Amino acid sequence: MSTQVGATSHASDVKDPSLAAMGERRVAWARQSMPVLKAIGERFAKTQPLRGLRVGACLHVTTETANLMIALAAGGAEVWLCASNPLSTQDDVAAYLVANHGMHVFAVKGEDNARYYQHIEAVLAGAPHFTMDDGADLVTTLLTKAQEKVSGVIGGTEETTTGVIRLRSMEKEGVLRYPIIAINDALTKHLFDNRYGTGQSTLDGIIRATNVLFAGKAVVVAGYGWCGRGIAQRARGLGAHVIVTEVDPTKALEALMDGHAVMPMADAAKIGDIFITVTGNTKVLREEHFLAMKSGALVANSGHFNVEIDIESLARLAEGEKTQPREFVDQYHLGDERTVNVLGEGRLINLAAAEGHPAAVMDMSFANQALCVEYLAAKRGSLKAKVYPVPEEIDAEVARLKLAASGVKIDELTKEQRAYLESWNEGT
Ligand code: ADE
């Protein structure tokens, strides 16, 4: 698992080192839309907050992630990176980080599960001081298969909702061994990345995979968290009739008052043209739903893991009759002449068939990541083995920097207004 690049030999596993030049151009393109991360990287280059420390990251290997890794390296970190999904790697980016930055990258688009976990273990072999996860596979593997490396870890970060849920279970069961910051829970992360990032990039992935017209279609969105809200809003913007399915009554009510139809999946299955799962749960679309679907239905997932669509039961119903009319489209032929199309093997469609969230939104998520690793380094030894929120000052600083970079000014409280907000005795 070692690629010779130029005169240097790095522990790495990438698809094709000759793609590096293309990766370089595309990473530079993304950087133009990441002013906050760029400013942090420039400060890191001067202050060196991560000098002599190793970051082990398990993230989607994209142009945006490359810019985060470059900022961390500018701060003095040695970077070890693997993919957080077998289908999300951009091979040119992986090649570029190895060739031009001497990073240890283990990621190949389309890798099978065995190679995916070999890559995670390769990153852990680098003995990281920090773990940076998107889905918690790195920390889970560390705690189960590489426990001898735990004592060297200062802290970790987690990018996504699903990963934070897993970490909270670890904390509850008393198996978490070091502090981890839940990046996902920062306002400047989920209000923008989950809502506008997932909203746009999910439709982008479905459109790139199929070239489908959304106008006039019945789009079923399973799950009305921040991602579901964003997808529903953008699908409506393209002229679709949106149906939301939920298990949480408050979220269902919100979807209703946002103007969407709300019903159980058993009913939605009969009328949907396009189905998108974003619940974080398993078997949201299953046999009874496939049996009810209209022929030609498109089925995609934008939740973190590929468990939301029960593809095994669909394959059973189709008795193995599957064709591939386009890249990223598996068409299952059911006995009654009907077809059901699964996009991107049920994996995150925005990263499998498109490029993930746009750089402008990852700018904020990854600014939180960079600032939280700096925070963990500064707090070394003083935090407990718990899931911590992003410190409020960091969240607010990211918003302030993003507004400034967008050329937007806002008002300040007057002295009188500040005093009014702090008082209690002035009523009607
Ligand atoms: N998650 C969603 N979109 C992403 C992107 N563009 N880069 C890294 N992680 C992501």
Phi, psi at 119, each rounded to 5°: -65, -40
Task: Please determine, for residue 1, whether its predicted confidence score (pLDDT) is greater than 60.
Answer: no
pLDDT of residue 242: 98
pLDDT digits over 260-270, tens only?
999 999 999 99
Distance 417 CA to ligand 1 centre (A): 40
Q: Could you tell me the residue ranges of all domains in the chain?
A: 3-189+356-405, 198-352
**pLDDT tens across 154-168, in order?**
999 999 999 999 999
The pTM score is 0.94
Nearest to 309 by CA among 331, 325, 327, 285: 285
Q: Ligand 1 centre from 357 Cα, in Å?
A: 5
- The residues lining ligand 1, judged by C-beta closer than 6 Å to any ligand atom, are 59-60, 62, 64-65, 197, 351, 356-357, 362
**Fold that domain 198-352 belongs to in CATH:** Rossmann fold (3.40.50)
Q: Which fold has domain 3-189+356-405?
A: Rossmann fold (3.40.50)
* Cα 18 from chain centre: 27
Decide whether 3-189+356-405 matches 198-352 in CATH topology.
Answer: yes
Residue 7 binned pLDDT confidence (cut-offs 50, 70, 90): very low
The pLDDT of residue 269: 98
**pLDDT band at 8; cut points 50, 70, 90:** very low
CB-based contacts of 114, cutoff 8 Å, min separation 6: none
Q: How many angstroms does the Cα of residue 62 sit away from the middle of ligand 1?
A: 7
